[in-house]
């Protein structure tokens, strides 16, 4: 049970995915395989080729027809290399054959060379019992023409692209990149490379999210840092809504006087300020500016990390048509005691050491360094205490990119 008034993360995810299902990107474009990594397949990939395209040998050895076995030793009538079209097998003979080479018509068995004896006159004696189909990779064993190899909505990595290459394809239809306008709010922010003013800090969230968005196939519209003034905020959002599929902001969403993004959204759209039952990451703004969805992440780097990874990431995959948007998670054992139950579910930065989850010492939401030290997040359920060795749900960071 979460604290009354706080939204469980599952409910937030359900609402965001429902929103994403309404906003799926309709456009697709063909891209060359060498540029398709990280993109999402726009339509089913259907096989145009049997794989293997013809029966071939799984071994270096000899191809024969078993009906000829009683006539052994058999003379070798041809040598069949991979990549060459063989002649039909001359009756009463065998063919020298190599791994991957196509089976000659008329052959129905391959024996590996280790189980044969080559006589002085070159004829071959077969030393072991043989059976039809032995050491032959049948045509279409991997797939048949017309088989669906990959479903629309599949994220394309090296394996998927290699499957397309194996069909002889050079391009794949992919969903167009989501255009995400990335906005940082806060007068305190200065971009790296600029001098730091008194009272200010460098903007790290833009870098965090820029790279992460690109990992997820997005095109990033760098919309800069928004001053904490309503008129300028409104003007900026009006410009961005023309180009963007999503406006993603960090900061400026808590309830303080200085949070003018929320004010502008309230004036212009239908914002929802969610108080999530998670820590870090409590405040999340979800809404629209005109017709463009807006997700407002908290400004603390680790809060931005957790809310982006758990909520915005699935949203951005789903608008690209990805069905399986949740990261794999695993059960690991706590390498620490947790004595103080919290009313919010807590996501802690941990490293796996000797099979146990070791805590980064400083779990403050302002401290991003812990994420570089850690292997992933463990989840401490609401209202729970833990003892060293207790099982915990672990999400590897590698699953979040």
Please list every residue from 167 through 186 that binds a second copy, using CB under 8 A.
167-170, 186
Among 21, 362, 383, 385, binds a second copy (CB under 8 A): 362
Among 2, 135, 137, 316, binds a second copy (CB under 8 A): 137
Among 46, 145, 328, 388, binds a second copy (CB under 8 A): 328
Residues 283-302 that bind a second copy (CB under 8 A): 299, 301
Instruction: Write the interaction track for a second copy spanning residues 214-233; mark x where CB under 8 A is met and - where it is not.
Output: xx------------x-----
* Residue labelled with tokens 């780097």: 301
Q: Which stretch binds a second copy (CB under 8 A): 62-70, 187-195, 261-269, 312-320?
A: 187-195
CA 96/CA 80 separation, integer angstroms: 6
CA 243/CA 292 separation, integer angstroms: 9
How many residues lie near a second copy (CB under 8 A)?
Answer: 97
Q: How far is the CB of 351 from a second copy (least distance, A)?
A: 10
CA atoms within 13 A on the CB side of 304: 29
Q: How far is the CB of 211 from a second copy (least distance, A)?
A: 4
Q: Which is nearer to a second copy, 248 or 292 (CB)?
A: 248
In the chain, what is the straight-line distance between the N-terminal and C-terminal CA atoms, in Å?
30
Q: How far is the CB of 89 from a second copy (least distance, A)?
A: 15
Q: Which is nearer to a second copy, 92 or 224 (CB)?
A: 224
Strand, helix or coil at 192? Answer: coil
Is residue 109 within 8 Å of residue 66, measured between CB atoms? yes
**Using rule CB under 8 A, residue 160 touches a second copy:** yes
Among 158, 242, 339, 340, binds a second copy (CB under 8 A): 158
**Using rule CB under 8 A, residue 34 touches a second copy:** yes
**Using rule CB under 8 A, residue 78 touches a second copy:** no
Is residue 346 within 8 Å of residue 9, measured between CB atoms? no
Q: Which stretch binds a second copy (CB under 8 A): 12-20, 174-182, 201-209, 242-250?
A: 201-209
CA 153/CA 394 separation, integer angstroms: 26
Q: Which is nearer to a second copy, 70 or 131 (CB)?
A: 131
Q: Which is nearer to a second copy, 162 or 235 (CB)?
A: 162
Instruction: Write the interaction track for a second copy spanning residues 80-109; mark x where CB under 8 A is met and - where it is not.
Output: -xxxxxx---------x-xxxxx-------
* Ramachandran area for residue 110 (φ above 0: left; ψ -120 to 50: alpha; else beta): beta
């Amino acid at each position: 049970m979460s604290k009354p008034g706080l939204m469980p993360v599952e409910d937030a995810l359900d609402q965001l995915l429902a929103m994403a299902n309404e906003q799926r990107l309709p456009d697709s474009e063909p891209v060359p395989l060498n540029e398709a990594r990280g993109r999402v397949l726009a339509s089913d990939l259907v096989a145009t080729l049997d794989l293997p395209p013809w029966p071939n040998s799984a071994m270096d050895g000899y191809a024969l027809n078993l009906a000829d076995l009683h006539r052994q030793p058999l003379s070798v009538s041809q040598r069949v290399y991979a990549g060459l079209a063989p002649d039909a097998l001359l009756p009463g003979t065998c063919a020298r054959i190599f791994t991957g080479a196509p089976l000659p018509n008329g052959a129905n068995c391959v024996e590996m060379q280790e189980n044969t004896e080559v006589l002085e006159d070159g004829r071959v004696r077969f030393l072991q019992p043989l059976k039809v189909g032995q050491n032959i990779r049948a045509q279409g064993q991997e797939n048949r023409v017309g088989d669906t190899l990959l479903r629309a909505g599949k994220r394309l990595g090296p394996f998927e692209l290699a499957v397309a290459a194996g069909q002889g394809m050079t391009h794949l239809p992919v969903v167009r990149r989501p255009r995400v306008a990335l906005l940082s709010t806060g007068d305190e922010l200065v971009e790296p490379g600029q001098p730091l003013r008194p009272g200010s800090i460098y903007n790290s969230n833009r870098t965090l999210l820029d790279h992460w968005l690109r990992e997820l196939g997005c095109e990033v519209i760098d919309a800069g840092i928004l001053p904490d003034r309503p008129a300028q905020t409104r003007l900026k959002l009006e410009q961005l809504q023309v180009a963007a599929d999503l406006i993603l902001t960090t900061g400026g969403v808590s309830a303080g006087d200085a949070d003018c993004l929320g004010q502008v959204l309230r004036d212009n759209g239908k914002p929802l300020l969610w108080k999530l039952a998670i820590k870090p990451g409590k405040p999340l703004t979800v809404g629209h500016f005109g017709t463009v969805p807006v997700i407002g992440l908290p400004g603390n780097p680790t809060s931005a990390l957790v809310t982006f990874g758990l909520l915005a990431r699935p949203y951005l995959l789903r608008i690209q048509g990805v069905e399986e948007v949740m990261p794999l998670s695993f059960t690991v054992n706590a390498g620490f005691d947790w004595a103080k139950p919290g009313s919010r579910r807590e996501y802690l930065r941990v490293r796996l050491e000797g099979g146990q989850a070791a805590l980064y010492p400083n779990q403050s939401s302002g401290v991003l360094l812990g994420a570089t030290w850690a292997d992933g997040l463990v989840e401490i359920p609401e209202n729970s205490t833990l003892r060293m060795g207790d099982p915990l749900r672990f999400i590897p960071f590698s699953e979040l990119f």
